[in-house]
Amino acid sequence: MGCTSHDYVYIGAVNVFMDEELLKVIEAWRCRACNAVLAGERQMGIITSTEGILGTVSAGSGERWMLVARQGRGSLPPDATLVRTSPGLRIKVDSIEPGDSTLVVREDMSVVREVDEEPPKTVMVYDVLSVLKGYIDLSTWPPKVFTLQAGRRH
Ligand SMILES: [Zn+2]
């Protein structure tokens, strides 16, 4: 807090795969002075240097970066999207299961369906910081998640 200009250090990426195809890369940076986290989502292909940078989550703000993965079926392909969340926030998802289309972030940052407060069936939500230095493979459900961070297993 109080940084006039953040001093960001790259802290890692999550590669989002569909089997062997790389769909996108989620990247994160942390400010050395205030711990704010900058995150972005890069599609594959030609982009500009700042495209896909979504913004900053300040330390102590209660906000967190989440990776929201959805199961695919038919014309709706599987996908994983970077979402800035905070307690009480509603997350809209194009999901194959109608009950999973509106999710609510609880005080403990767990995510449930708005309709019945049950965990979603066709959507998985990950704390981005816990899956950095890793990958997620959407070709299976639940997705295969791997990270090189010590002590983290999914
Ligand atoms: Zn800062």
| Tens-place pLDDT, residues 84-114 | 999 999 999 999 999 999 999 999 999 999 9
Centre of ligand 1 from the C-alpha of residue 63, in Å: 15
Distance of alpha carbon 106 from alpha carbon 62, whole angstroms: 12
Domain assignment present for 152: no
Centre of ligand 1 from the C-alpha of residue 7, in Å: 6
The pLDDT of residue 1: 52
Domain assignment present for 123: yes
Domain assignment present for 154: no
Rg of the chain in Å (alpha carbons): 16
Distance of alpha carbon 127 from alpha carbon 122, whole angstroms: 17
Provide the residue range defining the domain that includes 104.
8-146
Residues near 46 by beta carbon (within 8 Å), at least 6 away in sequence: none
Domain assignment present for 3: no
Report which secondary-structure segment, H or E, holds 82. strand 79-85
Count of domains observed in the chain: 1
Centre of ligand 1 from the C-alpha of residue 4, in Å: 7
Domain assignment present for 111: yes
Centre of ligand 1 from the C-alpha of residue 36, in Å: 6
Centre of ligand 1 from the C-alpha of residue 59, in Å: 9
Centre of ligand 1 from the C-alpha of residue 5, in Å: 6
Domain assignment present for 124: yes
**Single-letter code of the amino acid located at 152:** R
Centre of ligand 1 from the C-alpha of residue 2, in Å: 7
The model scores a pTM over 0.75: yes
Centre of ligand 1 from the C-alpha of residue 10, in Å: 13
47 or 59, which is more confident?
Answer: 59
Mean pLDDT of 30-42: 94
Whether 3 has a pLDDT exceeding 90, the answer reads no
Joined tokens for residue 22: 């790389």
Maximum Cα interatomic distance, the chain, rounded to a whole number of Å: 48
Domain assignment present for 30: yes
Domain assignment present for 67: yes
The pLDDT of residue 152: 58
Centre of ligand 1 from the C-alpha of residue 56, in Å: 10
